[in-house]
Amino acid sequence: MADKISILDMATFCKKKGLVYPSGEIYGGLAGFWDFGPLGVEFKNNIKKEWWKFHVQSREDIVGIDGSIITNPNVWKASGHIDNFSDVYVRCKECKKDNKLDKNEIGKVKCECGGEYDVVGDLNLMFKTNVGPVEGNVSYLRPETAQLMFADFRLVAENARMKLPFGIAQIGKAFRNEISPRDFLFRSREFEQMEIEYFVHPDKIKKCPYIKDVLDYEINVLSAELQKKDKDAVKMTMKKALEKKIIKTEWHAYWLATEHKWFVDLGANPDNFRIRQHVAEELSHYALDTWDLDYKFPFGWKELQGMANRTDFDLQQHIKVSKTDLSLFDNDSNKKVVPHVVAEPSQGVERAMLVFLFDAYNYDKKRGNIVLKLHSKLAPVKIGIFPLATKLKDNGRKIYDLLKNDFMCQFDTAGSVGKRYARSDEIGIPFCVTFDFDSLKDKQVTIRSRDTTKQIRVKIKELKDILRKLLDGEKLEGFGKIITSKSS
Ligand code: ATP
């Protein structure tokens, strides 16, 4: 089991290792904004790449778009964000700290210090901006990536020749003027989302053709009913959750299990997750039923991903406000239909980063250093290359040149090899290659595994292939299979 450190310690670790810094720190930073350092940008790109591969490139039923951040403000009028996207702004009577509450929490939730809250007012969370030179030509930085997937829906469906059910996916920045950004990357004002709007024929919202893939999949389930009784989540299969009508539609069960699996397959610990149904008072203005995928952060169970049943709310709103027909002709039923979005997996990239970091973070007492057991697909650097003496620097560089176009490599010549291994463990490099004096004679190098510290000697001409196999998780004789945080 990984050692959970506090969110503050994680922020310190991330800064030290070049993952994440407070934005513009030399000027004191700006609350809720973060810069990603040399390792952070690699790590974040790897997460996005894996998400895109899994959700878009390996599926025939989902295509991607990249919508703009600022768009016609009527998009936000139609979606309800101009009128409804607000939080209740409260201030603690005792410690004077600002916070945000959901409407149903007023009078029930107290400040961390125990003080009662005063309601200051409602705050719309969208950042306003002026477009062009004429004052008053207002638009907004998008608060979610979802809306252009609705506004562009008909065009995408037609030019990608999609047939229901199908999805549109997008990864990109979102901005929310959060009242109280906190917990490092967990709640920031600028963040990225990875979202899918999955469109289903309105007469077929109960049946999911892929449900068989997940029926036996087990997750900790916290229904609205269990929350009312103050009970904990119960582990059950998706089959049972559907039979007991805890999850109402097969689509919701399918996407919840699929999203959970995405995390687990990339090394996250399944026991740190649960799915939680929103209680009636929490539901957003557009949602019929919402489930969150929650993660056990050091500061408690929190939402990692939201999955709302948005019905046909968004498409109908855009049809009404834009006066454009966004229905599709359905050949099977021989009629025009406005599809429903039964489940909309919506994931913050930075919250995913935190999950993978927390589950990968281990302090190894024997080694005396941190070992970041990130899945090899997510590790920012895949291979460390160490010549064992100054005289061997040029030979080591040749190994680096051999590998650099295939893998993200780091060439490190500074300090003892022990120090170099420790440094590479701390940033999660899965394999290190050392070039020693014997390598000059036998044309072989040593590969060392981050997770097991086991070493094997391999021929330089076979090195690239062997590393590729190891990074793909293959077990090689005499050498430990790469261990992900899940199995540690
Ligand atoms: P919360 O209740 O935590 O404010 P939300 O329900 O408003 O979140 P959604 O609108 O469902 O969030 O957004 C989808 C996802 O986007 C969230 O599950 C989260 O991963 C991410 N996200 C939302 N707001 C933020 C934020 N301020 N900072 C970082 N990530 C965020």
Name the residue with tokens 């969150």: 292
Burial of 402 (C-beta count, 10 Å sphere; 0-12/13-18/19+): middle
Closest ligand 1 atom to 293 CA: 18
Report CA(191)–ligand 1 centroid distance (Å). Answer: 9
Report CA(90)–ligand 1 centroid distance (Å). Answer: 19
pLDDT at 285: 67
Closest ligand 1 atom to 195 CA: 14
pLDDT at 477: 66
Residues whose CB falls within 8 Å of the CB of residue 479, separated by 6 or more in sequence, listed in order: 447, 449, 452, 454, 455, 456, 470
Residues whose CB falls within 8 Å of the CB of residue 94, separated by 6 or more in sequence, listed in order: 111, 113, 114, 115, 116
Residues whose CB falls within 8 Å of the CB of residue 431, separated by 6 or more in sequence, listed in order: 382, 383, 384, 447, 448, 449, 450, 467, 470, 471, 482
Can you give the pTM of this predicted structure?
A: 0.94
Domains along the chain with CATH numbers:
7-85+125-358 (3.30.930.10), 86-123 (no CATH), 365-487 (3.40.50.800)
Ligand 1 surroundings by CB, under 6 angstroms = 144, 176, 178, 187-188, 191, 193, 303-306, 346-348, 350-351
Closest ligand 1 atom to 292 CA: 18
Name the residue at shortest CA distance from atom 29 of ligand 1: 187
Residues whose CB falls within 8 Å of the CB of residue 299, separated by 6 or more in sequence, listed in order: 6, 7, 183, 186
pLDDT at 308: 87
DSSP 317: H
Closest ligand 1 atom to 176 CA: 27
pLDDT at 484: 38
Dihedral sign for Cα 155, 158, 161, 163, please: positive
Burial of 253 (C-beta count, 10 Å sphere; 0-12/13-18/19+): buried
Of 270, 362, 425, 358, give the one whose Cα is nearest residue 7: 358
Report CA(85)–ligand 1 centroid distance (Å). Answer: 12
Closest ligand 1 atom to 187 CA: 28
Name the residue at shortest CA distance from atom 19 of ligand 1: 348
Give the Cα separation of 346 and 308 in Å (integer).
Answer: 9
According to the 3-state scheme, what is the secondary structure of 418-483?
Answer: HHHHHHHHHCCCCEEEEECHHHHHHCEEEEEECCCCCEEEEEHHHHHHHHHHHHCCCCCCCCCCCC
Report CA(348)–ligand 1 centroid distance (Å). Answer: 6
Report CA(14)–ligand 1 centroid distance (Å). Answer: 21
Residue 353 has a CB neighbour count (10 Å cut-off) of 23
Residues pairing with 294 in the sheet: 274, 303
pLDDT at 480: 52
Strand runs labelled E in 57-153: 62-64, 86-92, 98-101, 117-124, 128-130, 138-140
Report CA(366)–ligand 1 centroid distance (Å). Answer: 39
- pLDDT, one tens digit per residue, over 242-279 is 999 999 999 999 999 999 999 999 999 999 999 999 99
Closest ligand 1 atom to 102 CA: 2
Helices (H), 80-170: 81-84, 147-151, 153-159
Name the residue at shortest CA distance from atom 7 of ligand 1: 306
- Give me the residues of the chain with pLDDT under 70, please: 1-3, 285-286, 477-488
CB-based contact 468:481 (threshold 8 Å): no
Helices (H), 306-443: 313-322, 349-360, 393-403, 417-426, 437-442
pLDDT at 100: 84
For a ligand 1 pocket test, name from 310, 351, 355 the mutation site with the most ligand atoms within 8 angstroms of its C-beta: 351
pLDDT at 388: 94
Of 438, 360, 433, give the one whose Cα is nearest residue 397: 433
pLDDT at 2: 46
Report CA(172)–ligand 1 centroid distance (Å). Answer: 13
CB-based contact 192:354 (threshold 8 Å): no
